[in-house]
């Protein structure tokens, strides 16, 4: 961890670069810490001098240029903050949404060295052919290569981390953490947004992206989840040629999903593809709780069979059962106008502090839900709907939920891809079968039977363990009694501890049976329809 002066110098350099590109350090509409206003005042002369050069620039281009100049970690930070309009304001968030993670490629010599050091052996022993980079981003670049296994020749895509990228990233992350601590210390209103936790989340995301074995594992996990799903697949992983710094996967010969004209020319139905993209994403998020969190047009290809193939699994999202149920209930409540129920779910999930009134929160949900009714499906955006929900977080002191914000960001991207293929796509018709399947599987009879089975399984395990626990408790109690009979002299503290131990032993006789009874009762209640939620 760098010292405070070093971190201050790093942040000062970033501030100067932003000023040189005409980027404001204080987002409009956001209450910023006083230190940012001070920094803005100090860089005013630079912005005045540079103003003639930027007056005709697109603001989005200025932001992108500044972040690109600052280096790979700032590009990744910009992409990450694009999902956090609550932190940087909606205008800046929209600007960052257009940030492209593209950098000049590093040399073939460096790529060869990285692969040979990571996989061992010579490049020629690993690949029959190894071509120049076909794409380069802030963390890694991709090459097309050819391999032969068991006499079969096939093409692979080889992703290689940039040289020394870890050191550069973690140095900048250190300065981000330093800035977050200063903000939390000197700007109390920002504490609700947990800037330190935001940086920690960015660090975890970076850790995952910089270990390409984890990306390979994500591809493998999704492949298992979607086995048998129609119209969507992921590439196969070449584990033999994959390591922490190198990832090899099946090369996909497909049409970029953004090339609508070519898709039509090749006989593919854009409307059907749009439906597939949207339903696949919802199925992954709602059914599996594991989704591709960067499913933009550049990461989707359509193969000769018309199957959508996703690539680049560096950013993945997860939703627990609680979050998935929360989303299903919220959407159902808004669609059916049961705002009270939707509000209750927020409180049940612990997203709204209990000092707020359910009725008041239900009123806020009504303000979001009522404009939906009376409008055509084409006019309603589920992504916008989620965005409006999250906009109420500050009003109701709701803590930031990174997994839900990542979902909303991903939904914006996927919705954009789907509607670029079919502008008249009915989002609700597309989502209905997926939501219905989830509700039936988790909230209907089959879901309750599953919960009952899990409860019964727990009860069975506890009942199976009960004799052993009772034997241990009995042995402890007998040993204590024997010690008392033999006249061993104990000090007062030891006597007290032994008495407590005896008490725990007596409790140990009853506890397994109490837990088992509660588990069985819960299972019966679930089957009988008495589940409290």
pLDDT at 47: 61
Q: Where are the alpha helices (DSSP H) in 101-235?
A: 108-119, 123-126, 165-186, 195-209, 212-225
Which residues are within 8 A (CB) of 504 and not within 5 positions of it... i.e. 6 or more apart?
none
Predicted confidence band of residue 387 (pLDDT cuts 50, 70, 90): low
Q: How far is CA 458 from the centre of its chain?
A: 30
Q: What is the pLDDT of residues 82-132, one digit of tens each?
A: 766 656 666 677 677 667 778 889 999 999 999 999 999 899 999 999 999
Q: What is the DSSP string of 329-380?
A: HHHHHHHHT-HHHHHHHHHHTT-S-TTS-HHHHHHHHHHHHGGGTTS-GGG-
- Give the residue-averaged pLDDT of 21-28: 66
Q: Which helix (H) or strand (E) holds 166?
A: helix 165-186
Least confident of 2-16, 34-48, 199-213, 454-468: 454-468
**Residue in the structure block whose two tokens are 């709204």:** 352
Rounded to whole angstroms, what are the CA distances from 116 to 110, 143, 155, 243?
A: 10, 15, 19, 11
Spatial distance between the Cα atoms of 12 and 7, rounded to a whole number of angstroms: 8
C-alpha–C-alpha distance, residues 419 and 80, integer Å: 24
DSSP bridge partners of 236: none
Q: Is the dihedral of CA 151, 152, 153, 154 positive or negative?
A: negative
Beta strands 246-250; 152-161: pairing state: antiparallel
- Quick one: which of 284, 159, 136 has its CA closest to 211? 159
Confidence of residue 229 (pLDDT cuts 50, 70, 90): very high
The domain limits of the chain are 4-101, 102-167+197-251, 253-443, 446-528
How many helices (DSSP H) and strands (DSSP E) are in the chain?
A: 22, 10
Cα–Cα dist 529/255, whole Å = 50
Residue ranges of alpha helices (H) inside 422-444 are 427-442
- Residue 27 has a CB neighbour count (10 Å cut-off) of 18
CATH of domain 102-167+197-251: 3.30.200.20
Task: Give the tens place of pLDDT for each residue, 312-370.
Answer: 998 899 998 888 887 777 767 776 788 898 888 888 878 788 899 999 989 988 888 78
Instruction: Evaluate if residue 376 carries a pLDDT over 80.
Output: no
Question: Would you state the pLDDT for residue 426?
Answer: 75
Question: What is the percentage of the chain residues whose pLDDT exceeds 90?
Answer: 30
Sheet holding 232-233, edge to edge: 232-233, 308-310, 300-302, 255-256
Does residue 528 have a pLDDT over 90?
Answer: no
Cα angle at 443 between 442 and 447, to 5 degrees?
A: 50
Q: What is the pLDDT of residue 415?
A: 85
Model pLDDT, residue 507:
42
Q: Which of the pair, 284 or 46, is modelled with greater confidence?
A: 284
Query: 158 has which bridge partners?
Result: 143, 248
| 437 vs 439: CA distance, rounded Å | 6
H or E element in which residue 327 lies? helix 321-336
pLDDT at 522 over 50: no
Tell me how crowded residue 523 is: count the other CB atoms within 10 A of its CB: 21
Arithmetic mean of pLDDT, 431-447: 69
* Averaged pLDDT score across all residues of the chain: 77
- Reported as a single tens digit per residue, the pLDDT across 72-82 is 888 888 877 77
Closest CA to 286 of 229, 243, 242, 343: 229
Sign of the four-CA dihedral 163, 169, 170, 172: positive
Q: Which residue has the tokens 């076909």?
A: 134
SS3 annotation, 8-26? HHHHHHHHHHHHHCCCCCC
d(CA 162, CA 133): 12
Residues marked active site are found at: 294
Give residue 303's pLDDT. 95
Q: Is the pLDDT of residue 141 over 70?
A: yes
pLDDT of residue 491 exceeding 50: no
Asked if residue 141 lies in contact with residue 133, where contact means CB atoms within 8 angstroms, the answer is: yes
pLDDT at 54 over 70: no
Q: Scanning the structure block, which residue is given the tokens 């052919």?
A: 129
Q: pLDDT higher for 214 or 1? A: 214
Q: Are 297 and 242 in contact (CB under 8 A)?
A: no
Q: What is the mean pLDDT of residues 216-220?
A: 97
pLDDT for the residue numbered 235: 97
pLDDT, greater one: 15 or 428: 15
Quickly tell me which residue has 């990450």 as its tokens: 80
SS (H, E, C) 26-55: CCCCCCCCHHHHHHHHHCHHHHHHHHHHHC
């Amino acid at each position: 961890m760098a010292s405070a002066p070093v971190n201050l110098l790093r942040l000062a350099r970033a501030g100067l670069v932003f000023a040189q590109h005409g980027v404001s350090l204080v987002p409009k509409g956001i209450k910023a810490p006083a230190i940012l206003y001070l920094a803005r005042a100090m860089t005013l002369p630079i912005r005045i001098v540079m103003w003639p050069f930027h007056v005709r620039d697109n603001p989005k281009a200025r932001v992108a240029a500044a972040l690109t100049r600052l280096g790979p970690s700032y590009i990744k930070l910009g992409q990450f903050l694009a999902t956090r309009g609550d932190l940087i304001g909606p205008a800046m968030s929209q600007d960052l949404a257009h940030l492209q993670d593209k950098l000049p490629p590093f040399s073939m010599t460096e790529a060869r060295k990285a692969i040979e050091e990571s996989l061992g052996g010579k490049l020629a022993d690993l690949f029959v052919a190894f071509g120049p980079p076909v794409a380069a981003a802030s963390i890694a670049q991709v090459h097309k290569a050819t391999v032969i296994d068991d006499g079969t020749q096939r093409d692979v895509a080889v992703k290689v981390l940039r040289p020394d990228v870890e050191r550069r990233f973690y140095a900048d992350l250190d300065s981000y953490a330093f800035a977050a601590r200063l903000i939390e210390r000197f700007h109390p209103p920002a504490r609700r947004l947990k800037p330190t936790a935001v940086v920690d989340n960015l660090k975890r995301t970076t850790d995952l992206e910089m270990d390409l074995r984890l990306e390979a594992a994500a591809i493998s996990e999704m492949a298992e989840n979607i086995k048998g799903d129609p119209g969507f697949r992921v590439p196969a992983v070449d584990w033999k040629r994959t390591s922490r710094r190198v990832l090899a996967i099946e090369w996909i010969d497909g049409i970029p999903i953004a090339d609508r004209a070519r898709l039509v020319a090749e006989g593919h139905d854009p409307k059907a593809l749009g439906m597939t993209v949207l339903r696949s994403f919802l199925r992954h998020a709602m059914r599996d709780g594991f989704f591709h969190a960067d499913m933009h047009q550049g990461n989707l290809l359509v193969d000769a069979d018309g199957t959508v193939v996703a690539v680049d699994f560096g950013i993945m999202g997860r939703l627990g059962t609680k979050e998935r149920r929360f989303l299903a209930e919220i959407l159902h409540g808004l669609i059916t106008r049961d705002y009270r129920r939707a509000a209750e779910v927020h409180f049940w999930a612990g997203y709204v502090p209990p000092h707020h009134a359910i009725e008041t929160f239900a009123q806020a949900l009504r303000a979001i839900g009522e404009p939906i009714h009376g409008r055509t499906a084409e006019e309603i955006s589920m992504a916008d709907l989620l965005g409006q929900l999250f906009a109420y977080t500050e009003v109701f002191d709701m803590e930031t939920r990174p997994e839900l914000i990542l979902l909303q960001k991903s939904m914006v991207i996927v919705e954009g891809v789907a509607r670029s293929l079919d502008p008249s796509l009915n989002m609700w018709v597309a989502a209905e079968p997926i939501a219905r399947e989830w509700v039936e599987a988790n909230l209907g009879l089959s879901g309750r039977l599953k919960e009952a089975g899990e409860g019964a399984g727990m009860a069975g395990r506890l009942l199976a363990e009960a004799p052993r626990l009772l034997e241990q408790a009995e042995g402890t109690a007998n040993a204590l009694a024997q010690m008392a009979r033999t006249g061993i002299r104990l000090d007062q503290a030891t006597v007290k501890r032994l008495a407590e131990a005896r008490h725990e032993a007596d409790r140990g006789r009853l506890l397994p049976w109490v837990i088992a009874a509660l588990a069985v009762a819960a299972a019966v209640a679930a089957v009988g329809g008495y589940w409290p939620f």
